[in-house]
Structure 1
Amino acid sequence: MFTFKMFASAAAALALSAAPAMADCAKTRTDAAAQAAGFQTIGYQTASTAKKPAKAAKGDIIDVAVGAGSFNTLAAALTAAGLVDTLKTAGPFTVFAPTDAAFAKLPAGTVDSLLKPENRAQLVSILTYHVVPGKITSNQLLEKITPATTVQGRQATIDGRNGRVTVNGVAVTAADVAASNGVIHVIDTVLMPPAPKSH
């Protein structure tokens, strides 16, 4: 599994704690949809539409996610897992970012449990499963199935056929959110890494 170093100064700059993140986690899906509307939506777009250049980056992946306002739980989880450092480095990275509403869909108590220090390894595994090395834009994904090895080490299957993109069956609701060190694709459900293969 990919190992990350903690970046205390960046984490402090986020000024996020688990408590406000959990409160924000209760935001409605309408809020998430409104936020996603500000991004380039990938659903049912044509190939020519997908080739539009991403908007100019306004910071790294962490800055963009925090500024968007609908990724508070993700930002708090990244801080708790000590992953802020890497996602503020040069990268590049492709992040499939679950919204607060996506985290709210998890069974009650799941996020609280994952944010506990004793469950850090599991949290790191889940979060790094949402990150793929390199910058992958939507026009590279359409009309084909793309297996991608995540930073966590296990593969995710990206299906860009039929004018839309899914990751392990989870819909990408907005694509090509530009960051200085990569790109964010918004998803509406938290991805869970597959169980380790038994020998």
Structure 2
Amino acid sequence: MANIVDSAAKAGNLTRLLQALEVTELIETLKNPGPFTVFAPTDEAFEKLSEETRDALQDPIKLKRIIAHHIAFGDVRKEDLLQTDEVTTFENSVIAVDASSEGIKLNNANVVAPEIVVDNGVIYLIDQVLFPALVLSE
């Protein structure tokens, strides 16, 4: 198996996330043994953002907070998500988890593919970019 970074590169639809990880210098962190859980917005999720929000992502400090909000310590599997109502992120904020018969929602984002288990954790593809509270208004 590969690590999170290598697996994200092979996925083909996570190029914007990988670029953001590179800019924020979090890419090396996700090559470490971990384990980590990454809630990975697809390229399509980034494309849904408004122009104003995309402009805000040019600020490296805000971008790092936003990207860190998509990473959790530990190997959080689907079974774990089904038994909790929140996950604490690398950025030290919380993502709400709502598991129902329709699937798993993380805040307002839907998990759009089965978990991808890798050597140093797990990746979930999601259809929206998650934002920690107040990050865009700062």
> Taking structure 2 as the reference length, what is the TM-score of the superposition?
0.90
Alignment of 1:110-189 (within 5 A): 110-111=53-54, 113-114=56-57, 116=58, 119-142=59-82, 144-189=83-128
How far apart, in 1, do the equivalents of 2:85 and 2:71 lie? 14
Q: Classify the secondary structure of the residue corresponding to 2:28.
A: helix
Where does residue 102 of structure 1 map in the other structure? 45
Aligned residue pairs: how many? 135
* Structure 2: gaps (5+ residues): none
CA contact (8 A) 2:65 2:132 kept: yes
Deviation at 1:70, TM superposition (A): 0.4
1:85 to 28, 31, 40: 28
Q: Classify the secondary structure of the residue corresponding to 2:95.
A: strand
Q: Classify the secondary structure of the residue corresponding to 2:17.
A: helix
**Alignment RMSD:** 1.6
CA contact (8 A) 2:56 2:62 kept: no
Larger Rg computed on CA atoms: 1
CA contact (8 A) 2:108 2:128 kept: no
* Structure 1: gaps (5+ residues): 1-56
- After TM superposition, what 4+ stretches of structure 1 lie above 6 angstroms from structure 2? none
Q: Classify the secondary structure of the residue corresponding to 1:173.
A: coil
> Taking structure 1 as the reference length, what is the TM-score of the superposition?
0.64
Q: Deviations over 1:64-103 (max 9, x none)?
A: 0011110011101110111111010011001000000000
Q: Identity over the aligned pairs, expressed in percent?
A: 37
CA contact (8 A) 2:85 2:97 kept: yes
How far apart, in 1, do the equivalents of 2:39 and 2:23 lie? 18
CA contact (8 A) 1:145 1:161 kept: no
Q: Classify the secondary structure of the residue corresponding to 2:87.
A: strand
Q: Which has the higher strand share?
A: 2
How far apart, in 2, do the equivalents of 1:109 and 1:147 lie? 28
